[in-house]
Structures are given as C-alpha cells and as structure tokens.
Structure 1
Amino acid sequence: MKTPWLIWTLAGLLAAPLAQAQPAAARLLPAQSEIVFVSKQMGVPVEGEFKRFDAQIVFDPGSPQAGSVALTIDTGSATLGIAETDAELPKAEWFAAAKFPQARFQSTAIKPLGSGKYEVAGRLTIKGHSRDLVVPISLAQTGSTGIATGSFTLERLAFKIGDGEWADTSLVADDVQVRFKLALAGLAAP
C-alpha cells in the first residue's frame, strides 16, 4: 500500500524542478519603450513612431528556445509629428486602422547567438498581410529592467502600406527601417 504513495511523492519531486524551469513572463514598461520607423520620401529620411503597443514576452536566458514573443501595435497610433500627415496614416492607403487596428508579430523560434544577442523568428502581420521575419535582438539589464533592442528592414509594399498612388517608390521608398527598444520588468537578461 505504501508503494503508490512513494511513486506519487517521487513523481512530485521530479516534476517540481520542471515547473520551476518554466520561463517567466516579462511586463512591458511603455513609458520607457519605443518603436520607431524610418522611411525615405523623395530620398529624404523621415522618422515616425507608434505611440501605443504591447508585448507579451516569456524568456529565460538559460533556455531561450522555450521563450516566446507576441507584439501588438496600434496602427492608429502611427505619427510623423505633422498633423496633416498624421491624419493620412490611419486611412486605407496607409495603415487602414479602422479595418486593421493592430499589427502583430508572433515568434516561432528564438535562437541564442551569444553575448546577449538572439535571433527571433516569427510572423509579422500588417493590414491582413503576413510575412516571415527574423529579427536580431540584443538584451541587456539596467538595474531591475531588461532592455531588448533591435532593428530590421521591411518592404512596405509587401503589406500594402502606401497603396494606390503611394505605391510609387520614387515618392516613398519601399524599404522601411524599424527600430525598437522594449523596457521590460521581470525579464532575466544575461
């Protein structure tokens, strides 16, 4: 009769370290975070940003492959800092914010590169168009805050951003650089 109790006790002892090994969820600190985009209009760089976004990040530097990243961006929060231009960005030709209020990135794999650097593979969806993407990320710790930074280039026309007359790449270049800094509470950085 004691054998079942012993088996359950051993199973519980063996399972406890596995439960503790689960990566912890980090909480985004929006006031310290930013997502910036830079495009070229008639050859001149123009910088904008998204004012509202959220991230769900589960990460353990000891087991990065078990982590995940989910990012949502409020497309209606895009701004170039010019009222007339900002009024155009939510319209159908650009972000179509009424129909597609959020852009999303969902990771499919995290690959460690060493020295606090990682590659996060995933799927980016904007305006209902999805593309696979690999994003290089650097992680650092500043006090109790983890900082994830990186940049990548996307082709805006693949997502129908700047559609119609704005599809002319002599007016607005196809390549858009995206830079980000995500400040995260509870992120264990290397």
Structure 2
Amino acid sequence: MNNRLRIGIAAFVLSGASVAMAQTLEPAQSEIAFTFRQMGVPVAGRFTKFSGQVHFDPKKPEAGKVALRIDTGSARFGSAETDAEAVKSDWLHAAKFPQASLDSVAVQAVGPGRYELAGQLSIKGTARAVRIPVALARSGAMTIATGAFTVKRLEFKVGDGDWSDTSLVANEVQVNFKLALSGMAAL
C-alpha cells in the first residue's frame, strides 16, 4: 500500500471519528428562555428559532465545542405589541443584527454530569466572555443539557436610549436553556 493511500485512509477514518462525536440539536424539544424585570414586574420571553453545532464527548469534555445561533427576530413574549417592539433598534435590532451567537472556547468537567462552558456571547455586534454552568442528563435516546446564567443587557446595548434607565427595565436578564441533543455517547 503506498503512502498516499495510507494517508487518505487515515484522514477518512479520523474525519469519520470526529463526525461520530457530533450531536444533533433538536430544536422542537429544546428551549431558550429569558426573564427580566420591568418596573419591578417579571417579564418572560423565549426565542423560537435557533440552531447549533455540538461536538461533545463526556469522556473528553475539554475537547468539546459548542456553537449556537439564535434568531433575534424570533423573540416572543406572548404579546404581539411586545414582540414587535423587541426587534426594533433600541432593543435587539433584528434587521441589522439578525443573529446572536454563543461560541465555546473551553469546556471543563466540574462534577458528575456537570460542566462549565467558557465562551463568547455576541449580541448586537458586541461580544463578551461568559461562563455557563451546564448539567447533562439522559432522557431516553436524548441527552438534555440544562443551565442558567445572567446577562447584563446594557453591556450588549439592548435597551438603548430611554430604555437604558434600569429603574424602568432591570439590567440583569436571566437566561434559562434546555437543549435536547441526539447522538451523544453515554454519560
């Protein structure tokens, strides 16, 4: 067997191994939700359109990679008026910034079934480092990743202008997620 054929076979086997470790995000069984306070009253919303690429092996978490894309125009609050306001330039400015993103830079195990994802969160063209706790649990054939973290909206220029007054709308936004993943190795 010549060297080119060996290299080609090795490349094919290695690329197949990395594809085997990729998981599929199942959006219909997943949720990205958020809560903030407006004049002291909790306001809940969610994103209805998002996608992701996840490459994660529970036996090698440090090699994990996560890339999520969230359609900012899909923010929903249960009120047509609020939904229409959220996509305007003072808020998510969906016309100019149609996607928010989260890209991991490191993943580490912090306990059985628990991990910490370090990454870059980008909203409205502004990127910030984030650390996100993630718990993994098996549910039938799916692996469910859950977690919560807080974002300061003004760091991302969400709620510009008159809305930057934190006595009207709190700066802290609690993000909760449940991501259903198929194709993950046993935990």
TM-score (norm 1): 0.89
The residue aligned with 1:169 is 166
Contact 1:116 1:189 in 2 (8 A): no
Gap change, CA 1:82 and 1:64, over 3 Å in 2: same
The CA deviation string for residues 137-187 of structure 1, in whole angstroms up to 9 with x for no partner, is 000111110100000001000000011000000000000000000001112
CA distance in 2, matches of 1:82, 1:152: 25
Query: What letter is aligned with 1:45?
Result: P
Q: How does 1:100-179 map to 2 (within 5 A)?
A: 100-179=97-176
Query: What letter is aligned with 1:155?
Result: K
Gap change, CA 1:120 and 1:17, over 3 Å in 2: same
The residue aligned with 1:34 is 31
Deviation at 1:17, TM superposition (A): 8.9
Deviation at 1:44, TM superposition (A): 1.0
Query: 1:186 and 2:183 equivalent?
Result: yes
Contact 1:41 1:171 in 2 (8 A): yes
- 1:154 partner SS: strand
Query: 1:95 and 2:92 equivalent?
Result: yes
Contact 1:139 1:189 in 2 (8 A): no
Runs of 4+ in 1 over 3 A off after TM superposition: 14-23
The residue aligned with 1:76 is 73
Instruction: Give identity over the alignment, percent.
Output: 56
Unpaired segments ≥5 residues, structure 1? none
CA distance in 1, matches of 2:98, 2:11: 42
- 2:81 partner SS: helix
CA distance in 2, matches of 1:134, 1:19: 30
The residue aligned with 2:82 is 85
CA distance in 1, matches of 2:41, 2:185: 39
CA distance in 1, matches of 2:168, 2:130: 25
Deviation at 1:67, TM superposition (A): 1.1
- 1:188 partner SS: coil
Unpaired segments ≥5 residues, structure 2? none
Larger Rg: 1
TM-score (norm 2): 0.91
- 1:72 partner SS: strand
- 1:60 partner SS: coil
CA distance in 2, matches of 1:144, 1:105: 25
